[in-house]
Amino acid sequence: MAETRQYYFRLSPMAETRQHTPPASTSQVLALALLAPLSAFLLFLSAITLTGNVVGIALSTPLFVIFSPVLLPAALLIGSAVAGFLTSAAFGLTSVASFTWMANHLRRARLSEQLEYAKHSAQDTISHAAQSLKETGEGVLRKGHEVQAKAQESRNEAEIEKAQREKDQNEKAQSEKDQREKSQREKRSS
């Protein structure tokens, strides 16, 4: 992940969307090194073949006019012209196809690298959000335990106060009972 990220960095805080493009991979360089000269050579062959056909037709047309009664040279001329045009078209088409394939290959390679970067970026964002959520949840749980402990403490204090009131009431009731008995004893004794 660190290897992929080293190519992508922010140029400035103002230009967060601008990213440095990564250098071409070895396979991209090899594809370019092999296909570019091959495509150029095929394009050159196409041009040479086309030029040869045009020159051949220009030179053989007077001969065709002079030797018109002979059909064999005419057939050879037409056959060679058609073969030349088809060969030229084949070389040109092959050249254009190889250039197109090379461009698509390079574009796909860049796209896959960008998708890989986006995937790693999304994973980092999700893991950061999960970590923040976990920390928040732990904080809420800790506060919940604190509140629960305080509630238990308040309950214990309330039970102690209730027990103390009951004890005080019992003592008061006992002292009142003792005073009544004492006053009744005094009344009986008097």
In a domain? residue 147: no
d(CA 94, CA 91): 5
In a domain? residue 113: yes
- Count how many residues are written for the chain: 190
In a domain? residue 40: yes
The number of folded domains in the chain is: 1
pLDDT band, very low/low/confident/very high, at 16 (cuts 50, 70, 90): very low
In a domain? residue 127: yes
In a domain? residue 73: yes
Q: Record the pTM.
A: 0.34
In a domain? residue 175: no
In a domain? residue 104: yes
Task: Give the domain extent around 55.
Answer: 24-136
Report the half-sphere exposure of 96 (CA within 13 A, side-chain side). 8
Residues 94 and 59: beta-carbon distance below 8 Å: no
Q: What integer is the mean pLDDT of 3-27?
A: 55
Residues 60 and 81: beta-carbon distance below 8 Å: no
The more confident residue out of 22 and 182 is 182
State yes or no: pLDDT of 189 exceeds 50: yes
In a domain? residue 130: yes
On the 0-12 / 13-18 / 19+ scale of CB atoms within 10 A, 77 is middle
C-alpha separations of 106 from 33, 98, 138 in Å? 12, 12, 48
